[in-house]
Structure 1
């Protein structure tokens, strides 16, 4: 699905993807096509292949899977090639996001940290891929909830 698709075809694709009885299991869509006005409650994975400068645009696209009616745990992946300009762009974007959280939210308060501690972090699909003989070599590093020091250490910045 891309941003230039007509409204009727777009709605048809979304309905088929979100229908639990549908055979549609994968929806490939651009970040721009998913940043406004759609719900992807049929999703259990969001895989981001592109990096945008504005972290809020990315959050909007990811949030399409977190809508009323969502019954699945949704995992988000960023597929980034190490040593590319995309990698540096992602690190800058993550740094902007962290600064924004420090300035505009209360997430850094101790009371808020205990509220989110029950979140699910284990992804069996990812674990199976990492352990699979034919796939394990394509994973150099897996970073969960990157922190500033992790970004600099893991991506060599």
Structure 2
């Protein structure tokens, strides 16, 4: 994939990001590009937070993959800084090309360069293909997550 770059997302990328978020079985029930207002509001908050990095992989000027990387300071583990990877999506036309692996490796290196000693992510329990993908990249299933919708 020549010409591929990873860069910080721009406001003009939000629509393409939302389309990628909505383009799977789970995302289709949660995300929609019909009204970008809440996404643009969230983008503004992410863009202003120095501990948040929303990126896109771009080919031929178009976003074809995305993820959000959060740097989380904490007291646990001797005050370690963690990199939290969220919302990894690859455009349907580019799945199976190795792009997802390249993007995750980019996030790992970015976390390392920020001083993180741990990179973590969560994945919905129904995403068994994603679980195998992350395990192939060296991630270990180590915790059980809980959510409370407010």
TM-score normalised per structure 2: 0.31
TM-score normalised per structure 1: 0.30
Larger radius of gyration: 1
Query: Which protein is richer in strand relative to its size?
Result: 2
